[in-house]
Structure 1
């Protein structure tokens, strides 16, 4: 499977790969942001996220460029299998919105 690159995302410099965990340490979500605390709070207050009240902690792993963080995010989601990611999660590769397609 291959993934099309992000569309028109500017490189915002130093970027964090963040992981959100519940109180038992289960991995809920993986994402990237140049302002991870702001992004973390947006997950906590986003009403459609039914799992938002489960968030108990988070970690940051910093990369020098957004491109490096994007590559690490994809690897992490595809190997660590967070409970609430849909993009890049192998369980959703066949969905038309996933951006993944079988190499010809």
Structure 2
């Protein structure tokens, strides 16, 4: 189940009997290349911060031309959606839940096409 979300509106979940605590919803995000190939799938509660971390440390980010997000009310829902997306959509650069010889072969072919074998893990 996904919810519409804007970063300007706080999302509140009660914490026991205390006052509500602001909590950002979990976001499932996907990065795609210029040909629409899925590069990476992940989850976070702060897409802006996670995007900055990918920009600084993820070599595959140089291929990303667009991203999409889908919001979830709870982490477990986002984790389930992430597992399902990685399993069914087979992003090129996810290593978690995607470690198969065939996944590595697809990544190798992609990097050969891009002239970037230096990015092989």
TM over 0.5: same fold?
A: yes
Report how many residues are paired.
Answer: 79
Query: Which consecutive aligned stretches of 4+ in structure 1 deviate over 4 angstroms post-superposition?
Result: none
Q: More helix per residue: 1 or 2?
A: 2
CA drift at 1:30 = 0.1
Greater gyration radius: 2
Contact 2:28/2:81, CA 8 A, preserved across alignment: yes
2:66 paired residue among 57, 71, 85: 57
What is the match of residue 37 of structure 2? 26
Query: Unmatched 5+ residue regions in structure 2?
Result: 1-22, 102-121
Matches of 1:35 and 1:79, distance apart in 2? 24
1:74 paired residue among 70, 73, 83: 83
Query: Unmatched 5+ residue regions in structure 1?
Result: 1-11, 93-104
| Root-mean-square deviation over aligned CA pairs | 1.6
1:17 maps onto 2:28 in alignment? yes
**Which protein has greater RCO, CA pairs closer than 8 Å, 6+ apart?**
1
